[in-house]
Chain A
Amino acid sequence: MHRVLLPFEFFEPTTIKEVVELVDGDKVRVLAGGVDLVLKMRRREILPEKVVSLQKVPGLDYVEGNGSAGLKFGALATLTQIEQSEVVMENCALLREAISKIVSVQTKTMGTAIGNLCVATPASDVAPPLYAMGARIKIVGVDAEREIPIEEFFVDAGKTALGPHEIVTEIVVPSLPSGSGGAFMKLSKTAEDIAKVNAAVMVTLADGRCEDARIALGSVAPTPIRAIGAETMMKGQKMDKKTIEEASASAAEAATPISDIRSTAEYRKEMVRILVKDALQEAAARAQA
C-alpha cells in the first residue's frame, strides 16, 4: 500500500450531463464517497488520469418513497442515510437489515450504496437484498438513459454493465406484495469483515403456501446470483420444514464458490445451505406476522 496518491486532474461538475461527458472507463473515474476509489488508487489498482466528483451535483442524495412503485435512492445516498431512512424501514426492511451488517460507521457515513454496487464485488452486502427485491438500476450515458434489472448490472467480479461513458444515477426498488417477508444472513470471520457467504431471501405467502420466492446469494460466484432452481421448486408449495430444506439444499448446489483466504469452497457451499435455511425460516415467520 502506497502512502500517497499519484497526481490526477480533478473535476467537480454540477450537472450529470457534464459528469457523463467527462467519464471514460478506468481513465476518467467517478468519485462518490471515495471509500473504495481512493483505496484502490493508493494500491495502484486504478490509476485514473482524471477524477470526476459527483459530490457537487445537486439532488443526488435522496432516499424516498416512489408511490406504488416502492422506493428509490440516488447516487449520493450514503449507506447511513439509507439505513436510517424511515421509508426504508417501512418498505424495505430487508435492505436495512443487510446494511446494518456493515459495521464500520465511517464506511457507512462516507460510502454510498450505489458506489458499493459499482465496485461489483461478489461479497457486497447491498446487492443480495436488491436482487431479492427485484431492484432496477438507472443508467445515464451521453445521449441515452436506460434501466436494467440488477442481475444484468453485475457482469463479473469487479465488472459492471456500465459502458465507459455511463454512470448510475438511481436505484428503484419495487414495492412488495402483501404477505411478503424477507431476511438477510451474513457469515463472516469477524463482524467487521466482508462476507464469506451471505444470503437474502424474500418470500410471499398466501394461506401458508409460497406464492413467490427469491433467493440471492453473495460471495459464492463471480457475481451475486439467484438460486432460481430453489425458487421455482418452492412456488405453490406449503411453507414447511421439508420445502425449506429442499430449497436450501438446491441453493447450495447453485453456488460455485472458490477457496480463498476467507474460506474453502466446500465450507462456503455448506454454509449456503445453512444460511438459506435460516433465512427462509425467518422470512416465512415475518411474512406471517
Chain B
Amino acid sequence: MGKEIANFIVNGNEYEVIIEPHMLLIDVLRDEMGLMGTKYACGAGDCGSCTVLIDGKPSFSCLTLAVTAKGKNILTIEGMADGTALHPIQQAFVEKGAVQCGFCTPGMVLSTKALLDENSEPTRDDVKTALAGNLCRCTGYVKIVDAVEVAAGTMREGG
C-alpha cells in the first residue's frame, strides 16, 4: 500500500486526504486538515500533549500511523466547543485558572473528556490517575484537578 486517498472522521466531519503509510496522525490533523489545536511536544509518549480520542480512547496522535485511524471516530480539541459555546470542561479550565502557557491544555481536556465519559463522579485520585499521561510544566496540577471536579459537577447537572 502506498499513496492513497483516505477518509477520516474528525469531530464528526468527514475529510478526504491523500496520505502515505509513514504519515503520523498528528501531521495529518495539523498540516492536511489545518487542525492546529493538537500539539506536538516530546514525540515519545511521555508528555501527552498530542492526545486525541480515537473511538473514545485517549491516544498519542504522534505515535499513531494515520493509515490506522482511517474511518475511526477521532475527536480533537476543535471538536469540543459547540459553535462559540465552550464545552463545560473547557469552561471549567478557564474559570479555575487551569491554563497557563496552554500547550498541554488540549491533551488535558481530551483525557478529561475520556474520564468523564466513563465516570461522571470521579474522586480526586481518579482524576490524577486519568491524567497521569499528561504533563503540565506550569500549573502544578492542583488547578487542573479542581477544574475537572467543577466540570464533572456541571456535566452531572446536564450543563
Contact = CB atoms under 8 A, between A and B. Distances in A.
A38 B57 CA distance: 19
Contacts of B60: 35, 106-107, 110
Q: Max chain B CB contacts within 10 Å: which of A5, A9, A39, A104?
A: A104
Contacts of B102: none
Contacts of B32: none
Contact of A10 (B21, B27, B57, B63): B21
A84 to B, nearest CB: 10
A9 B67 CA distance: 12
B142 to A, nearest CB: 17
Contacts of A34: 63-65, 68
B33 interface: no
A266 interface: no
A1 B65 contact: no
A109 interface: yes
Q: Max chain A CB contacts within 10 Å: which of B20, B40, B65, B111?
A: B65
Given A104-B45, A192-B46, A9 B2 contact: yes
B1 A106 contact: no
A107 B44 contact: no
Interface in B28-67: 40, 43-46, 48, 51, 57-60, 63-65, 67
B45 A1 contact: no
A12 interface: yes
A51 B132 contact: no
A110 B59 CA distance: 6
B133 A107 contact: yes
Contacts of A8: 21-22
Contact of A105 (B43, B46, B133): B133
B130 interface: yes
Contact of B132 (A80, A105, A109): A105
Contact of B63 (A3, A39, A53, A105): A39
Contacts of B131: 105
A270 B44 CA distance: 31
A261 interface: no
Contact of A38 (B20, B63, B130, B132): B63
Interface of B: 1-2, 20-24, 27, 40, 43-46, 48, 51, 57-60, 63-65, 67-68, 111, 114, 129-133
29 contacts: A1-B43, A1-B44, A3-B43, A4-B24, A6-B22, A7-B20, A7-B22, A8-B21, A9-B21, A10-B21, A12-B1, A31-B65, A38-B63, A38-B64, A39-B44, A39-B45, A51-B21, A80-B57, A104-B48, A105-B130, A105-B132, A105-B133, A106-B51, A106-B58, A109-B57, A109-B58, A109-B59, A110-B59, A192-B133
Interface of A: 1, 3-12, 31, 34-35, 38-39, 42, 51, 53, 55, 80, 103-107, 109-110, 191-192
Given A39-B45, A42-B44, A109-B58, 18 more contacts: A1-B43, A4-B22, A6-B22, A35-B63, A51-B21, A51-B65, A103-B129, A105-B131, A106-B45, A106-B51, A106-B58, A106-B59, A107-B45, A109-B57, A110-B57, A110-B59, A192-B46, A192-B133
